[in-house]
Structure formats: structure tokens, C-alpha cells
């Protein structure tokens, strides 16, 4: 069980260190090796996804990633930005399916900006296609036209790409409440009309799953109006980027949300849904729970260790029930802890 650990930038190293401690505490035989990705990799090698990292990531069964990016690298040419490293590794490992659960733990119901009755008990799974769409489509660029600059990108999806993510989504829905909502913008974008057509075609393979469709603008509204109507949502790369961040805020803290990105053989990259939080980096106050829960997803999806995954998730629930909170989820009457102390109490709960 080989794990490539990529701490990355900002709070990345602080939060991955806690997830690594949790994995080690399980007493399993993991082989873990660290490498560079993102801004730190740019500084050291000039490449946000250096060759040594590529080799390690390809050989590993799973990758645990902190986060990349920060103001230090914002002015670099686009190909050298840390985020390019992230897009690069996803594409290189063919991680086409991004799974982001949005769960509201009862203890954190007040952390949401929505009324508790709207969000309490929320448990949805957003599945985002990750290697296609307008983020990768060609042609792209900025050109001169009639004496002014014109920016352009291309939204593109092949039938096989849509089918592949569709199967992941239907199968995920089968393991949950058997309801799948596919999100598109078929009223204006031909590309997403194809998306809808293909979803309807593959629905025949899953008669036990109830398929519905929603336009992305309505989906954005419904997520804040009545989020509990959803079970599993599936959508393309760009809409998924936006909707999964929106869904994450329903739960109150982005510091609580794990994610998994899988290839077709269950190799996966596991990372928190948040970024590198440069505003709090190095202060020892970042919430490590999203990264620890990402490690739990790794146990479940790549290594098939369901019991261990549940053990880690239960430990997280226990520390929340005990009242431990990092600053981002703190409320009066609870105990405020830093990154490392949160790791300590999770380890204690595991034991």
C-alpha cells in the first residue's frame, strides 16, 4: 500500500502532517514517501509538477495532497503557476471523477449560515467530471481581433467522457439513496445537451436509480433553498467546481470537507476541498479534519478498508461531540484547539 504524500503550499504541510499521523496510528503497512507539488515545486525546480513527483505519483496506489498556491506565485506565467501542477497531476493520473461529500455534522449545525432546519442532517455527494470541459478544451487563449483583445475557451465533452463519469455517478447513487440529479445548461449549450442525452441513455442500465435533470442556475438556487432534496449530483468540470464550493458552505466550514479523485482502477488522489489558506498558513490554527477525512476516503475507495475508514470517521465525530473545535468552526462553549492539538485528540479518539 504505497502512498505518495504531497504536502504542497500554505497550510498544506501542517494539515497533511496530521493526516499522516492518523494513517500511521492505524498500524497498517503503508509505505509513504513525500514529494513536491505546486509553488514549492516551482521554487525548487521551475515546474509545479516536477518529474520526480510524476514518477512517485504514478508508482503509488494513492496520493495524499494538502493544497497548493499562494500570492507569492500569482504573478508567474500561467504554465508555472502552482494550480497548473494540480491540473497536471489530475490529468496525468487520469483522475476523471471527483467525489465531494457535503455532510453536516449535527454538532456543527450552527456553523452554517443557513437555518438549522434547512441544513441539519444534510448528506449529499457531488460528483464532478475532472479532466474535460472548458478547463482543458482547445483552442484557448487571448488574441487580437479588430484592434482589441479577445479571450476564448472551448467547452468540449466526448460521449465516452460523459458515459464514464455517468457510470461512476449511477453506481455511487446505488450505494446511497438511489437518486441522481444531473446538472447541465442544455437550454443554451449544445455540449451539455449531449451531456443530458448520454445520461438518459445510460440510465437504462440502472433501473433502480431515479434520474432527474436540473439546469445549473436552478441547481445553484436549490442548493441554498432546499439542499436536502439532493442525494447524488453529477455535473461537468466547471459547473462542478462552482456547485461543490457552494455545497461546501452549506456545511459551515470548508475545513471539514474531504474529496477523492479517482481513475477507473480506484487509484485516487485525496485532498481537502479547500485551498492553501495563505492568510492562516504557519500559524498552527488550520483545521486538519478535511485532510484526515480525505485519508478516510483513501482507506475506503483505494484500499477497500471500510472498517478502518469508519474508524477514522467515528474518531472525527467523537472529537466534535467532545467539543473540540479549530477556529473556523469554533463557537462559544466549545474548546478551541490548534491544528496539532486537533490531530492529538483524533489520535486519542482512535485509541
Q: Does 295 bind ligand NAD (CB under 6 A)?
A: no
Q: In this complex, which beta carbon is closest to ligand NAD, that of residue 114 or of residue 286?
A: 286
Half-sphere exposure of 280 (CA within 13 A, CB side): 19
Q: Residue 217 catalytic?
A: yes
Q: Does 286 bind ligand NAD (CB under 6 A)?
A: yes
Ramachandran quadrant class, 31 (left: phi over 0; alpha: psi -120 to 50; beta: rest): beta
Give the shortest CB-323-to-ligand NAD separation in angstroms: 18
- Catalytic member of 157, 185, 301, 324: 185
Give the shortest CB-193-to-ligand NAD separation in angstroms: 30
Q: In this complex, which beta carbon is closest to ligand NAD, that of residue 267 or of residue 274?
A: 274
Q: In this complex, which beta carbon is closest to ligand NAD, that of residue 289 or of residue 315?
A: 289
Q: In this complex, which beta carbon is closest to ligand NAD, that of residue 83 or of residue 210?
A: 83
Ramachandran quadrant class, 44 (left: phi over 0; alpha: psi -120 to 50; beta: rest): alpha
Question: 123-129 and 97-103: which strand pairing?
Answer: antiparallel
Interaction pattern, residues 241-280, with ligand NAD; x per rule: CB under 6 A: -------------xx---------------x--xxxxxxx
Q: Which three cell numbers stand for residue 172?
A: 455511487
Q: Which three cell numbers stand for residue 58?
A: 504514478
Question: 2-8 and 268-272: which strand pairing?
Answer: unpaired
Give the shortest CB-161-to-ligand NAD separation in angstroms: 22
Query: How many angstroms separate the most distant Cα atoms in the chain?
Result: 68
Report residue 183: phi and psi, to 5°.
-110, 130
At 272 the three-state DSSP class reads strand
Q: In this complex, which beta carbon is closest to ligand NAD, that of residue 237 or of residue 326?
A: 326
The closest alpha carbon to 235, from 267, 300, 275, 189, belongs to 189
Interaction pattern, residues 80-119, with ligand NAD; x per rule: CB under 6 A: ---x--x---------------------------------
Q: Residue 185 catalytic?
A: yes
- Catalytic member of 74, 197, 205, 217: 217
Q: Which three cell numbers stand for residue 187?
A: 437550454
Q: Residue 135 catalytic?
A: yes
Query: Do residues 134 and 153 touch, judged by C-beta distance below 8 A?
Result: yes
Report residue 34: phi and psi, to 5°.
-95, 150
Q: Does 13 bind ligand NAD (CB under 6 A)?
A: no
Q: Give the binding range for ligand NAD (CB under 6 A) out of 61-69, 179-187, 191-199, 262-270.
A: 61-69
Q: How far does CA 256 lie from the centroid of its chain? A: 11
Q: Just list the catalytic residues.
A: 135, 185, 217, 241, 245
Residues that bind ligand NAD (CB under 6 A): 11, 15, 67-70, 83, 86, 254-255, 271, 274-280, 286-287, 290, 326, 328
Amino acid at each position: 500500500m504505497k502512498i505518495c504524500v504531497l504536502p504542497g503550499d500554505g497550510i498544506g504541510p501542517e494539515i497533511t502532517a496530521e493526516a499522516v499521523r492518523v494513517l500511521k496510528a492505524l498500524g497498517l503497512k503503508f509505505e509513504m514517501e513525500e514529494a513536491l507539488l505546486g509553488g514549492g515545486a516551482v521554487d525548487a525546480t521551475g515546474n509545479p509538477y516536477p518529474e520526480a513527483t510524476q514518477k512517485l505519483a504514478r508508482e503509488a496506489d494513492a496520493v495524499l495532497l494538502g493544497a497548493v498556491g499562494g500570492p507569492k506565485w500569482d504573478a508567474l506565467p500561467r504554465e508555472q503557476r502552482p494550480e497548473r501542477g494540480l491540473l497536471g497531476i489530475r490529468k496525468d493520473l487520469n483522475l476523471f471523477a471527483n467525489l465531494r461529500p457535503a455532510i453536516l455534522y449535527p454538532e456543527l449545525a450552527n456553523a452554517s449560515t443557513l437555518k438549522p432546519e434547512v441544513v441539519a442532517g444534510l448528506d449529499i455527494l457531488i460528483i464532478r467530471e475532472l479532466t474535460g470541459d472548458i478547463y482543458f478544451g482547445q483552442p484557448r487563449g487571448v488574441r487580437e481581433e479588430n484592434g482589441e483583445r479577445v479571450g476564448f475557451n472551448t467547452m468540449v465533452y466526448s460521449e465516452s467522457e460523459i458515459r464514464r463519469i455517468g457510470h461512476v455517478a449511477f453506481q455511487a447513487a446505488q450505494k446511497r439513496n438511489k437518486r441522481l440529479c444531473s446538472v447541465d445548461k442544455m437550454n443554451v449549450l449544445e455540449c451539455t445537451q449531449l451531456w443530458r442525452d448520454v445520461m438518459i441513455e445510460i440510465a437504462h442500465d440502472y433501473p433502480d436509480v431515479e434520474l432527474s435533470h436540473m439546469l445549473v442556475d436552478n441547481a445553484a438556487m436549490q442548493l441554498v433553498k432546499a439542499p436536502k432534496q439532493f442525494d447524488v449530483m453529477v455535473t461537468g468540470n466547471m459547473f462542478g467546481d462552482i456547485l461543490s464550493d457552494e455545497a461546501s458552505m452549506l456545511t459551515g466550514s470548508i475545513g471539514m470537507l474531504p474529496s477523492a479523485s479517482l481513475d477507473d482502477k480506484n487509484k485516487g488522489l485525496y485532498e481537502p476541498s479547500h485551498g492553501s489558506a495563505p492568510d492562516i498558513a504557519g500559524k498552527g490554527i488550520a483545521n486538519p479534519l478535511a485532510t484526515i477525512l480525505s485519508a478516510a476516503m483513501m482507506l475506503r475507495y483505494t484500499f477497500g478498508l471500510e472498517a478502518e475508514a469508519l474508524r477514522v470517521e467515528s474518531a472525527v465525530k467523537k472529537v466534535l461531540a467532545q467539543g473540540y473545535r479549530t477556529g473556523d468552526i469554533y463557537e462559544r462553549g466549545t474548546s478551541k484547539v490548534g491544528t496539532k492539538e486537533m490531530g492529538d485528540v483524533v489520535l486519542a479518539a482512535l485509541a
